[in-house]
Amino acid sequence: MPTIVIAGGGIAGLEALAALRGHLGRDVRIDLLEANLDLVERPVTVLEPFGGVTPRSFDLARIAADHGAVLHPDRLASVSPAARRLSTVRGDVLRYDALLVAVGARPEPAVPGALTFSGRRGVGALRRLLADLIARRVRSVAFAAPVGVTWTLPLYELALMTAERLRSARVDGVRLAVVTPEDDPLDVFGTRPAKRVRALLAERGIGVWTHAVPKCVGSGGLEIVGGATVAADRVVALPRLGGPSIAGLPNDAAGFIPTDRYGAVPGTPAVWAAGDATTLPVKQGALAAQQADAAAEAIAAHFGADITPEPFRPVLRALLFDPRGPRLLVADDGQQATTPMWWPASKIAARHLAPYLAAGSGVGSAADGQ
C-alpha cells in the first residue's frame, strides 16, 4: 500500500488529509506528523483579551482517526528525496511514496520593545494593557505591522476591538494609531476594500500611518525608519514569520519552500508543500487551504485517481472581526461577493476541513499556550 506522509497538522495539513481521503479512499496509508496534539482556531485568539469567544480546540488524534491516518506526535527535521525518506526531530525515520510539507512558519518578534501578539501566548499581556488603558495609566497605543508582514488583518482587529472596549468603558482621550508599511490599510485586498477599512478606522477615531516602517520602541514612542517617531505609551506589534528551512529541501533566503502551481517542490520528486511554509507571500489560512487542495489533487492524480488536478489560483477572502459586526473582505478581482465561499462563515475557510469541524467533529479542550 502506498504511503503518503503529511508533515504538519495545521489548516493546510488537515485540509490535505481530508481532501486526499476523499480522492483516494482507503487505498493509501496516510501518516500525519505533528507534535501539537490540538488544532486551535488561532485567528480567533484576537477575541480572547476582550472577553470574546474562546477559540475552539480540536483533538488531532480524533481528526487523524476519523480520516484513517496514523498520527506521529513529532516534527519534520530533514528529507532525503532520493531515498524517499524523512527524519523526525526525535530521530525516527519514515518512508514515503509522497510527502506533503505543511509545517507552517516560525513567528519571530520584529519590533524591539513592543508587545508581540502572535496568538494565545500574547493574550495575558494584552489583557493587562487593556486594564492599564481603562485605569488611565496608559493614554496612547500604537499597533505596528513590521516590514515584510503581508497579512496584517489581525492588527486591525486588535485596534478596532481596543477602540470599542474603551468606548464601552467610557474612557475618552486615548490615542490609538495603526503604523504600517502598507500603501493603504489592508491593501492586499485591493483599492476598494482598503478605502472601506480606512474609513472604518477614521470612524472609530483610530489614526493611520502608512508607508511607515516600525523600527523599535524608544523613549518617545514608536521609532520609524527614517527618523520619525509615533508618540505612544505602549506598542503592540505583529510577529515576522520565518521559513522552516528544512534540510534536504530547497528554500529561499528566508527559509521558505518554493512550489509550482500544483504544490510540487522543484527538483524533489514526490514532494509537495502548502501553507505558510511556502514562498507564497500572503500567509493566510484560507490561501493555505487552497494550496493544500491543489497539492492533494496532484498527489491523488500521481497515485492514479481519476481526477484532473487544478492549479492553485488564489482567491483572497476573509472575515474582519469588527466588534460591531464581522465584515467580509473580498480582494478586488472584478467579482464583488456578498457571501463567503465557504459555509458556515468562519475563520477556518477550507473546502473539506471546515464542514467537518463545523459539525463538531474532533472538538477537544482548550489548548493552553498555543
pLDDT in tens, 197-254: 999 999 999 999 999 999 999 999 999 999 999 999 999 999 999 999 999 999 999 9
Q: Are 47 and 20 in contact (CB under 8 A)?
A: no
Torsion of CA 63, 69, 74, 80, to 10 degrees: -140
Cα 216-221-227 angle, rounded to 5 deg = 65
Beta bridge mates, 33: 7, 72
CB-based contacts of 148: which residues, under 8 Å, 6+ apart?
Answer: 110, 240
Phi, psi of 175 (to 5 degrees): -95, 125
Q: Decide if pLDDT at 367 tops 60.
A: no
pLDDT class of 180 with cuts at 50, 70, 90? very high
Q: What percent of the chain has pLDDT over 90?
A: 81
Amino acid present at 71: L
Q: What are phi and psi of 48, to 5 degrees?
A: -60, -45
Lowest mean pLDDT among 49-53, 77-81, 219-223, 281-285: 49-53
Specify whether the backbone of 364 is left (phi greater than 0), alpha (psi in -120 to 50) or beta: beta
CATH superfamily assigned to domain 108-240? FAD/NAD(P)-binding domain (3.50.50.60)
Portion of the chain with pLDDT greater than 70, in percent: 92
d(CA 253, CA 174) in angstroms, rounded, equals 41
The pLDDT of residue 342 is: 38
Q: Can 3-105+243-316+346-358 and 108-240 be said to share one CATH topology?
A: yes
pLDDT value at 280 more than 80: yes
Place of cell 491516518: 69
61: Cβ–Cβ under 8 A, 6 or more apart, which residues?
37, 71
d(CA 176, CA 139): 9
Whether residue 349 is predicted with pLDDT greater than 60 in this model: the reply is yes
Span 285-343, pLDDT tens digits: 999 999 999 999 999 999 999 999 999 999 998 889 999 998 889 897 533 333 333 33
Q: What share of the chain is helix, strand, coil (3-state, %, to 5)?
A: 30, 25, 50
Q: How far apart are CA 107 and CA 323, in angstroms?
A: 26
What is the model's pTM? 0.90
Cell of 314: 488564489
Q: What integer pLDDT is reported at residue 41 of this predicted model?
A: 83
Domain 3-105+243-316+346-358 CATH superfamily: FAD/NAD(P)-binding domain (3.50.50.60)
**Confidence at residue 43, expressed as pLDDT on a 0 to 100 scale:** 82
Distance CA 137, CA 159 (A): 18
Q: Cα–Cα distance between 154 and 120 in angstroms, integer?
A: 13
The phi and psi torsions of 337 (rounded to 5 degrees) equal -95, 155
Break the chain into its structural domains and give their ranges.
3-105+243-316+346-358, 108-240
Closest CA to 271 of 289, 295, 255: 295
CA distance readout (Å), 320 to 67, 100, 154, 325, 347 = 31, 30, 8, 9, 9
How far apart (Å, rounded) are the C-alpha atoms in residues 142 and 289? Answer: 32
pLDDT at 84: 98
The answer on pLDDT for 6 being more than 80 is: yes
Helix axes 153-168, 191-203, angle to 10 degrees: 20
* pLDDT confidence of residue 364: 52
Please state, in angstroms and rounded to a whole number, the distance separating the CA atoms of residues 364 and 41: 12
Neighbour count for residue 290 (Cβ, 10 Å) = 25
67 φ, ψ to 5°? -105, 15
Higher-pLDDT residue of 362, 300: 300
pLDDT top residue among 135 and 317: 135
Query: Is the CB of residue 24 less than 8 Å from the CB of residue 37?
Result: no
Distances from the Cα of 245 to the Cαs of 107, 254, 279, 309, in angstroms?
Answer: 14, 8, 12, 28
What is the rounded average pLDDT for all residues in the chain? 91
